[in-house]
Structure 1
Amino acid sequence: MDLKDQLKNLFPEHQEKEVEPSKETASLWLQDDPIICKYEKRKGKPITILEGYTGATEDFKALAKELKQKLSVGGSFKEDKIIIQGDYRDKIMEILKEKGFNVKRVGG
């Protein structure tokens, strides 16, 4: 007897609900051109920069917030660019590809 069966025995009137994707991720506009993911050093510290998103600015800000939360790092959104503290190009590219974006790696 697994955990779901035990829970059904304890709460027979409970019905499982389907989980819907969050409205932030569902409403992002996917584009044909790739988002450019590049690496720089500013004042001796590594940063990852994402640029080239052609959708709404609010969507890009929501994407920046989600990336910062998933990676547990700091960052900012300035001049239509997402700036993430640290070198997280590989992880960011995986996350964006899962969401359906085309991503191009630039620099190193």
Structure 2
Amino acid sequence: MLFASFDMKVNTDCITLNYQTNDKTDIFCSEKNNTLSVYVNGKKYNSSISEYEISHNDRILISFGDGSSIAEQLRYLESLKIFDIPKKIPQYSGKDINL
């Protein structure tokens, strides 16, 4: 669901990006010199990330290229602060209509 909300499709070999502003689509698939790599919380994820159930504070890296900068990308991802947004509890005024 998350990737679909960004108009992306991700599987184990390819990532498809749909650009709504100009109706353009780019597809990046693993090949000889470039691979699609997915990491969840710093560990290589070998299944389809689109089926992964995201948990609170997960850090997901999707990288496409020769793999030489993955360690740097993971360090950067780990350095980002995750802000904990408190769950909103609905406030009822007593004037709500219940059926």
Q: Same fold (TM over 0.5)?
A: no
- Relative contact order (C-alpha < 8 Å, sep 6+): which is higher? 1
How high is the TM-score relative to the length of structure 2? Answer: 0.23
How high is the TM-score relative to the length of structure 1? Answer: 0.22
Bigger fraction of residues in helix: 1
